[in-house]
Amino acid sequence: MGTIIVTAPASSLVLPVTMPGITLRAISDADRPFLARLYASTREAEMRMTGWDDAQQSIFLQSQFAAQQHAYLAYPDAVFLMVRRDGEPIGRLYVQTLADRLHVVDISLLPAAREGGVGTALMRAVIAAGKASGKGVGLHVEASNRALTWYRRLGFEAVAQKGFYLEMRREGS
């Protein structure tokens, strides 16, 4: 519990995480196996519907994880954080600092860490960091994602539709 100060090449971001036992640290290369497992956990329901065997699922998930990691290189001014509970990795939080807002690139938690308030504590920390710097917070979410309701409860509003995704924003005031 406490304020985490994260320094990225283009910014300094203070995230006041207030949930006991939850800490953040910069992701390192050693975290890649966990991140791949976390990514796979976000696609479990989808994989169950494919009819693919374990080997096919593994190949697909590895290629999609690699593509996602490569896509995140488009955010050189973002901070890439490991979310830990009592020292154990449970998720990731990627946040980019833009001129007018903080942009949540990704927030993912292991299934066992979902729906227990961790995600809400992380998003409230990002919102507080945005307010402290006079900025709003933005993100993109698939229009069919069940997290859409959660984002709305946190005060986010849809501002644009971009293909399958909704762009959502929460003002900083």
Tens of pLDDT, residue by residue over 86-118, are 999 999 999 999 999 999 999 999 999 998 999
Domains of the chain: 2-170 (3.40.630.30)
Tens of pLDDT, residue by residue over 142-161, are 988 889 999 999 999 999 99
Q: How many Å apart are CA 163 and CA 88, to the nearest integer?
A: 36
If pLDDT is split at 50, 70 and 90, which confidence band does 74 have? confident
The pTM of the full predicted model, rounded to 2 decimals, is 0.88
Distances (CA, A) of 78 to 7, 11, 156: 10, 8, 21
- The residues, any chain, with a CB within 8 Å of residue 18's CB and separated by 6 or more, are 1, 2, 121, 124, 125
pLDDT value of position 7: 42
**Alpha helices, H only, 20-172:** 32-42, 44-48, 54-71, 118-132, 147-153
